[in-house]
Amino acid sequence: MQFKSTALMALVTLTTASPITKRTTDTVTDSWPVSGFSVGCSPAACVYKFAVTRAAGPYNPGFNTTCEGNDYTSDWQSCGDSSVSAKIVPKTSPFWEVDVMHTYDTVNKEGWAQALANATVEDTVSNFIVTIYQTESVE
């Protein structure tokens, strides 16, 4: 009887120690390339311009647009593609936080989703990646 209990316990240990496969995410749509970033300042405000793209994924449409605006207001400013907005936030000179927001219909068209991406870059860098840090949706 002792042998059966030991064998049963060994079998239970083997089944509970099986590896678990983790689900991976689609990182292709989580990183958005920015190109042509430029910022120039006057005493009144700083103005910016850049192009940004996002690959289409199974749950989001893609985009390829140009954004331009200023830091006079802290509000989001619409880009060429109306589903994309941007803003810049000054950091310790010469760095800027570049924020991009993508708002779009959900797959079943019964709600909306929003993805926020950002990066902190030096004002002399023209090409970089903004990465999603928050997503939300309403159905």
| Among candidate residues 79, 116, 118, 82, the one with its CA nearest the CA of residue 101 | 116
| Segment 53-111, tens digit of pLDDT | 999 998 899 999 999 999 998 899 999 999 999 999 999 999 999 999 999 998 888 88
| Segment 124-133, tens digit of pLDDT | 999 999 999 9
Q: Can you tell me the distance from the alpha carbon of 29 to that of 47, in angstroms, rounded to the nearest whole number?
A: 27
In sequence order, what DSSP letters do the residues of 54-71 get, joined into one string? E---SSS--EEEEEEEES
pLDDT reported for residue 8: 42
pLDDT reported for residue 3: 46
pTM above threshold 0.75: yes
Q: Higher confidence at residue 139 or residue 114?
A: 114
Q: Can you tell me the distance from the alpha carbon of 104 to that of 60, in angstroms, rounded to the nearest whole number?
A: 7
Q: Is there a contact between 58 and 85 (Cβ–Cβ < 8 Å)? A: no
| Full set of structural domains in the chain with CATH | 29-138 (2.40.350)
